[in-house]
Structure 1
Amino acid sequence: MLPGKALTTAMGILPHTNLQEAQKLALSLDIPFWPQLPRFRFKEDMYAQFAEHFPGIKVDEEKQSLHFSHERFAEELDEYLEASVIPDHFALSEESSAAFSGFLEQDLSAYKMVHGQTVGPISFGLKICDEERKPMIYNDFVREILYDFLGHKISWQYHQLKKVHPNPFVWLDEPGLEMIFNSLSAYTSEVAQVEYRAFLSKLPGPKGIHLCGNPDWAFLLNADIDILSVDAFSWGHIFVRYIDEVKEFLRRGKIISWGIIPTLTSELNSETAESLTARLHELWKFLNQHGLDDDLIFDRAWLAPSRCCLINGDGTISIDQAFALLKTISCNIQNI
C-alpha cells in the first residue's frame, strides 16, 4: 500500500530558470520529482517536452508553438512504428529536459517514493491542432497512436526511475480532463472513458492523475488509478460531495493528494498556515459527517500546492512561499 499520512509532494512544473534551485526545491519535499522548467526554455513546456518524436508534430521554438500536420503524420508514421519497438526511442532527451538526468544522479535513498510526470493524452491531444485548427485528438487513428506514444513515454520514464529508486511512479498532468466531459468537446465522454481506462490499464507502477480543474470526479474516482491530485483550494468543496466515490476510493487504499496551498500570489498573500489548515479540516469534517473517519482520511492523504503557476510576477518567490507553507501545514497535521 502507498504511504500516506500527509506526505508532501507537488506538480513537476516550476517557474525557475536556475536548474540547481529548482532541483533543491523539488528535493525538499517528502516525495520529490524532477522539475519541468518551461521558463528555462520552450522545449521544457509540458506539451513540447513530450512531443519529441511524435509523428506529424512540429515544435516551433521561435514562435513557441506546436502544430500537427496530417501530411507529415502520414510521411513519418512508418518510421515511428518501426522505432516504437525500441524503448530508448521514447527517452527524455537532454534538449527537452534539463533536470531529468540530474535527478537520476541524486541520492534518493532516504525518500519513501519519487515521481516523474508526463502530459496526459487527453490534454496533449486537445492542445495540439492540425492545419484546420482542429485538435488532433478528434482523428480516431491519430488518437490511437497518441495513446500508444504516451504509454511508451511513461513506461520508459518509469523504468529509468525504477533503476534509482524502488518506489517510483509517473503521474499524468491532465488539465484537459475538465473539458472532455462537457458538451463542447467533439471527443465524446462515453468514448473517452472507455479509451482512457484501456490506456491506464497498460501503464506500469502506481497510476496517478493531477489536474487543477473540476472534471467528472466520479469517473476519476472509479478509474484504475492509485493517486488523485486535486486542487482542493479551489474545488475541494465540490470534490468532497462525491462522498460515495471518495469513500470507496480511500477504502481501496488509494491516495488523495490534497492541493490546499494556493500558488497564485494574490491568493497566497491572503492565507496563512492556520487558515489553510482550517480550510482543509473543513473539507475533512464534511467527509467525517458522511461516515469517513479522520484516521482513514489522514492515512490516505498527501498534501501539495493546488497547482503549478507560471504567471506570477515575482519569479519564484510565491512558489517558494507556497512550498514553505506546504511543509508547515504537513508538520502541523502530522503532530495533531
Structure 2
Amino acid sequence: MPQIPGHLLTTMLDFMARRINVQLTRLKERNANAFMFVDEPGLQFLFSAMAGYGDIKARDDMDYFFAQVDRPRGIHLCGNPDWDFLLRMDLDVLSLDVHTNGEIFVSYAKAIQKFLDRGGVLVWGMVPTGIEAFEKEAIPYLTERLEDVWQTLWSKGIDRDLLVSQSMLSPATCCLINPDKEKTVERAFSAVNQMKEILGNKYL
C-alpha cells in the first residue's frame, strides 16, 4: 500500500489537531467538563498485512498527533483493533463497542489495569444503535451483559470500585444509515440513561 509522504502526513496531523482543539474550546465554553473523541475506525486495520504500517511508526505518529490535542484526549472505536496498543497510549478516555467486542476486550486485563491506574476512563458502548439490533435487545439483558464483562475483569484482579468510578456509558456505535435517521439513536441514548440508573443504584 502506498505510504503518505512524511511532510504531508505531518501537515494532515497538525491540521486535524488544530480542528479538534477549536471544537473542544467551543464545547468547553458551554460545559467545562466537555471532551472530544477522535473516531478512527481505520485503527482496526492498522496492523493488517495490507497496511504496511508497523507499530513503532504508528505509535510515533499517534504520539505526535495527540501531543498537540488538548486534554482530555479520547478515541472511540467501533471495531476491534490492537487494544494493548491503544491502552498504552497517552489517552484520557477510550470508548469502545463492548456490545460487539466485549469478550475480546476483557482478555487485555493487564493493559486495562494500567490504563485505569493512570486515571483513564473507559466508555462502555453496550446499547446498539442499528434499528434491527436495537429492537432485539432489552435493557435488562444489555445491563446484565455489561455486568458480565465487569465481573470478568474483577475476577482478573481489577478493583471493582476503581473500574466503576472510571466508567461511562454510551451507545455502542454511531449510526448514519438508519432509515429512521436519528430516532433509533435517540432511543439508544434513552436506554443508556436507564442503564445508568440501574447500575448506579447497584454499584454507587
Q: TM-score range by the shorter chain?
A: over 0.9
Distance of 2:65 and 2:186 partners within structure 1: 35
| Paired amino acid for 1:301 | S
Among 228, 232, 235, the alignment partner of 2:101 is: 235
Q: Which runs of 5+ in 2 are unaligned?
A: none
Distance of 1:230 and 1:161 partners within structure 2: 22
Among 175, 184, 197, the alignment partner of 1:318 is: 184
How many pairs does the alignment contain?
A: 202
1:266-305 map, 5 Å = 266-305=132-171
Distance of 2:29 and 2:194 partners within structure 1: 32
1:23-64 C-alpha deviation (Å, 9 max, x unpaired): xxxxxxxxxxxxxxxxxxxxxxxxxxxxxxxxxxxxxxxxxx
1:160 aligns with 2:19: no
Distance 1:183 1:264, change over 3 A: same
In 1, are the aligned partners of 2:17 and 2:69 still within 8 Å (CA)? yes
SS at match of 1:256: strand
**Structure 2 match to 1:92:** none
1:183 aligns with 2:49: yes
1:172-204 C-alpha deviation (Å, 9 max, x unpaired): 111111111211113333211111112112211
Q: Which runs of 5+ in 1 are unaligned?
A: 1-133
**Structure 1 match to 2:172:** 306
Among 196, 199, 204, the alignment partner of 1:333 is: 199
SS at match of 1:259: strand
In 2, are the aligned partners of 1:305 and 1:326 still within 8 Å (CA)? yes
Distance 1:160 1:316, change over 3 A: closer
In 2, are the aligned partners of 1:178 and 1:216 still within 8 Å (CA)? yes
| Alpha-carbon RMSD | 1.6
Q: Which has the higher contact order (CA 8 A, sep 6+)?
A: 1
1:196-275 map, 5 Å = 196-275=62-141
| Paired amino acid for 1:186 | G
In 1, are the aligned partners of 2:14 and 2:68 still within 8 Å (CA)? no
1:53-81 C-alpha deviation (Å, 9 max, x unpaired): xxxxxxxxxxxxxxxxxxxxxxxxxxxxx
**TM, length-normalised to structure 1:** 0.57
Distance 1:322 1:163, change over 3 A: closer
In 1, are the aligned partners of 2:45 and 2:51 still within 8 Å (CA)? yes
In 2, are the aligned partners of 1:138 and 1:186 still within 8 Å (CA)? no
**Structure 1 match to 2:35:** 169
| Paired amino acid for 2:113 | K
Higher helix share: 2
Distance 1:323 1:295, change over 3 A: same
**Structure 1 match to 2:5:** 139
Give the Å deviation of 1:329: 0.5
In 2, are the aligned partners of 1:158 and 1:205 still within 8 Å (CA)? no
SS at match of 2:70: coil
Give the Å deviation of 1:166: 2.5
Distance of 1:164 and 1:274 partners within structure 2: 34
| Paired amino acid for 1:245 | A
